[in-house]
Amino acid sequence: MTVKNSVITVGSDPEFFLVDSTSKKIIPSCGLVGGNKGDPVRLTCGGFLEDNVTVEFNPDHGHRHTTMLDNLGRTTKQFQEKTGYLLSSKSEYLFSDEDLASDKAREFGCDPDWDAYNMAPRERIDPAVVGNWRFCGGHIHIGVDPWPDIPHSIFVQFLDLFSYSQWIQYDPQPQRRKYYGLPGLYRPKNYGVEYRTPSNFWATFDGQKRGYRMFVQQLMHTVQRLVYAVHNDKNALTRLYRSIDWRDVRQTLSRGEQVFNYDDQLQEFNRIPMAELGRDAEAEPRQIDFNDLAQNVLNNAARVRPGYQFVDANGRVVVVPANVNEDGAAPFIEDAPLPHDNDVPEQFLNDREWFRRRDAYRLAEERMNEAQRAARTYLTHFREGEPGFNVEGLRALNDEHERLRAHWTAAMDSWADYEAEHMLDLDEGYDAEEDVV
């Protein structure tokens, strides 16, 4: 994807524990599958290597997150076919002394992580402190060429608050968070940054089934908005940054909790356009039946936000008008364009059911967030002792929020299940039996 004067790419190097296909037990990878740092075993769409006791995968990067995720699915599938081993969905595991007897199992990475909140390198973790625990990271590599005028540390803090915080409940990693899952961890790269806080929760077979791949989508939307804002209104982005108590953000995320105190800033940030997307080598024009698909998407109860950008059949940017219906459905627009945000996998471009489920998920998310904001506002008035605000009303609002959260979860699962079932090769990228470990 091309954003103003910068070209964005996304890559990753998630790690997995190896599972013996017969015993279904997690085993160290040392000496079993091959590959080393700088010399991975190359497959069609990426490679793999032994990293301590885990297997690290290096899918080919792409201009869209769907490209990278497709490459990851194909690479893990080919790995399993080549080696006969399975892959675990766990992000942390306590090995026995016997499992860690080899020298390789005691080797830890030597490149330092940087702390975005201290704006300095971290001290290297002492292996003795970690003991027999081993962890699987889900590092995401973000390339922006040329890099915009924003420090890497501030860039990563925004990723923490406006992306990872929304998904932290799905990434528990209680042990890893003490050492390698702390907020704001990254490594500066010549192409951009390597964001190192998340575990592999978004990359595992279990995570794919549950729709956690959408974390990468949200992360890249944050990147797009950041790059766009730096190019177009850096002063506004600076004011937004200064309105946030970053020490509070860091402390909350360190506890493994979502940050809830910055709804206004989140809304302001989400109003930043996701940029004027140009066409690079991976975004060639496609022949699409715009009228047929758009009539289904918009006229048949499509759920879209006011201000949401589309690209019409002539390549013109169209913005959804503010006069949406009360149920969230956009009014029918004659010759309406196809919703297009460069995040639709190619095989779903003409899939009406995919668009229906995606838009149902987005509407459910908006309603859940509205209920959450209402409950917090009510709680504030209740704590201040204002008349008319009581425990019963607070309980009712909390119940409504929980109901809408359940609806949101069901919508997310419905969309993710449909996508996983129909995504080319995705459902074959991992082995479902690994969930037994």
For the stretch 260-269, pLDDT in tens is: 889 899 989 9
CB 195 within 8 A of CB 421: no
Q: Is 191 exposed, middle or buried (0-12, 13-18, 19+ CB in 10 A)?
A: middle
Q: What percent of the chain has pLDDT over 90?
A: 47
More confident site: 294 or 95: 95
CA 282 to chain centre: 21
Q: How do beta strands 46-51 and 41-43 pair?
A: antiparallel
* Encoded amino acid at 309, one letter: Q
Handedness of CA 407, 306, 311, 276 (dihedral sign): negative
pLDDT at position 436: 39
Token pair of 285, please? Answer: 């024009």
Of the ranges 168-182, 262-276, 349-363, 384-398, which one carries the lowest mean pLDDT score? 384-398
Q: Average pLDDT over the chain, rounded to whole?
A: 79
Element (H, E) at 176: helix 176-179
Q: How do beta strands 2-3 and 54-59 pair?
A: unpaired
Of 60, 51, 42, which is closest to residue 16 (Cα–Cα)? 51
What is the rounded CA–CA span in Å between residue 293 and residue 290? 5
CB 75 within 8 A of CB 4: no
pLDDT at position 110: 66
Q: Is the pLDDT of residue 8 over 70?
A: yes
Of the ranges 117-126, 172-181, 313-322, 374-383, which one carries the lowest mean pLDDT score? 313-322
pLDDT at position 421: 72
Residue with tokens 């599958």: 33
Token pair of 23, please? Answer: 């015993």
More confident site: 364 or 182: 182
CA 357 to chain centre: 19
**DSSP SS3 for 9:** strand
Cis peptide, bond prior to residue 146, ω within 30 of zero? yes
pLDDT at position 336: 35
59: pLDDT confidence band, cut at 50, 70 and 90?
Answer: very high
Once rounded to an integer, what is the mean pLDDT over residues 299-325?
41
What is the rounded CA–CA span in Å between residue 77 and residue 86? 10
What is the rounded CA–CA span in Å between residue 238 and residue 226? 11
pLDDT at position 190: 93
5: pLDDT confidence band, cut at 50, 70 and 90?
Answer: low
91: pLDDT confidence band, cut at 50, 70 and 90?
Answer: very high
Q: Provide the residue count of the chain.
A: 437
CA–CA–CA angle 39, 40, 46 (5° rounding)? 135
What is the rounded CA–CA span in Å between residue 317 and residue 297? 17
432: pLDDT confidence band, cut at 50, 70 and 90?
Answer: very low
* Encoded amino acid at 216, one letter: V
Once rounded to an integer, what is the mean pLDDT over residues 118-146?
92
Q: What percent of the chain has pLDDT over 70?
A: 78
**DSSP SS3 for 387:** coil
Domain boundaries defined on the chain: 2-273, 352-422
More confident site: 315 or 238: 238
3-state SS of 19-41 is: ECCCCCCEECCCCCCCCECCECE
CA 349 to chain centre: 21
pLDDT at position 108: 78
Q: Is the pLDDT of residue 135 over 90?
A: yes
CA 17 to chain centre: 21
DSSP-derived secondary structure letter, 48: E
362: pLDDT confidence band, cut at 50, 70 and 90?
Answer: confident
